[in-house]
Structure 1
Amino acid sequence: MVIDNVEVDEHSDDPVDHVAELLLRIAEGDQRAFAELYDMLSGRVFGLILRVLVDRSHSEEVLQEVFLEIWQSARRFSPKKGQGRTWVLTMTHRRAVDRVRSAQASTDRDVRVGFRDLDVAFDAVSEDVELRWEGRRVVEALRQLPEIQREALTLAYYGGYSQSEIAALTGAPLGTIKTRMRDGLSRLRTTMGALA
């Protein structure tokens, strides 16, 4: 049985990590393994980047950067330290966050030097303040959720994990994870409305 690219043998406690196998082959310069990995994970990787960056064209650029980094640094992956999918998604999140920081630093520099007219600078600052305010509201609302609901939502929206992956990570049945996420989102909506 295969659950999210990890083969689970019902007679063994040792799951087979297909992403890790591909990364080890990529480290040896195997282009077919790289193509397989791209086909397997590019959709998930792109979705995670897009959630962080929002901008589609920037997300496409970062997607290319992530897979280039995978090709160049696959030798650094160690199956003893964790699953291949986790390694790829962690790298992806780091790259996306770096892009956001870089874009913000560039905007800040331009505003300080005066290369942008005041209307654009005001809009950028206003938007930044609004996003930070909204982010604080979400964090505050998440804190008010029960731990099991907060954990499921955090793994899904910040970690990029699917519901079946969250079930495997937490050891809870898939139906339970779906219920926790549905109930958590419902409470989050209610709490966010109260915080407005």
Structure 2
Amino acid sequence: MKAAVNKARAGDLMNPSGPACVVPGKVTVHVDDLLVQIAHGSRSALAELYDLLAPLLLALLRSRGRSLERAHNALVDAFARIWRRAPSYEPGHSSLDWVIDQTTHADASGVA
């Protein structure tokens, strides 16, 4: 059984045509709700968003060739940027794309 799982995982890694990360629709709706709450000043919503997406965003930053330390710093900058820019988020649009845009912008600029 374990060998079958490892073989399936290896097959997934060798198939670049699939998505890099599958995020269920319920999660993206939840991200949308959290961004609206953050826009209204909810620190607990920011913490929940961090808990939900930090692993994904850290992996994204690391895939861009960042050291672990640089990726962590960029992640902190990204969430500071999300906090400040949440009021400009338009609910109903692709919330995950918006968060990723904020993350990549924070990483590229080196500042929040």
TM-score normalised over the length of structure 1: 0.42
Q: 1 or 2 for the larger relative contact order (CA 8 Å, sep ≥6)? A: 2
Secondary structure of the corresponding residue to residue 24 of structure 1: helix
Equivalent pairs, count: 90
Deviation at 1:6, TM superposition (A): 2.4
Q: Specify which of 101, 107, 112 is matched with residue 96 of structure 1.
A: 107
Secondary structure of the corresponding residue to residue 17 of structure 1: helix
Residue correspondence of structure 1 range 64-143 to structure 2 within 5 A: 64-80=76-92, 82-99=93-110
- Partner amino acid, structure 2, of 1:85: L
Contact 2:78 2:107 in 1 (8 A): no
Structure 2: state its 5+ residue gaps.
1-21
Structure 1: state its 5+ residue gaps.
9-15, 103-196
Q: Which has the larger radius of gyration?
A: 1
- Percent identity for Structure 1 against Structure 2: 28
Contact 1:70 1:88 in 2 (8 A): yes
Alignment deviations for residues 161-196 of structure 1 (CA, whole Å, 9 cap, x no partner):
xxxxxxxxxxxxxxxxxxxxxxxxxxxxxxxxxxxx
Q: Specify which of 13, 19, 31 is matched with residue 31 of structure 2.
A: 19
Alignment deviations for residues 102-129 of structure 1 (CA, whole Å, 9 cap, x no partner):
9xxxxxxxxxxxxxxxxxxxxxxxxxxx
TM-score normalised over the length of structure 2: 0.70
C-alpha distance in 2 between matches for 1:31 and 1:6 = 24
C-alpha distance in 1 between matches for 2:84 and 2:59 = 22
RMSD of aligned C-alpha atoms?
A: 2.2
Alignment deviations for residues 72-120 of structure 1 (CA, whole Å, 9 cap, x no partner):
111010024x211110011112222334xx9xxxxxxxxxxxxxxxxxx
Aligned to 1:6: 25
- Partner amino acid, structure 2, of 1:78: E
- Partner amino acid, structure 2, of 1:7: K
Secondary structure of the corresponding residue to residue 84 of structure 2: helix
Contact 1:20 1:84 in 2 (8 A): yes
User: Using a 3 Å threshold, how does the CA distance of structure 1 residues 40 and 5 change in structure 2: closer, same or farther?
Assistant: farther
- Partner amino acid, structure 2, of 1:56: L
C-alpha distance in 2 between matches for 1:66 and 1:79 = 19
Aligned to 1:180: none
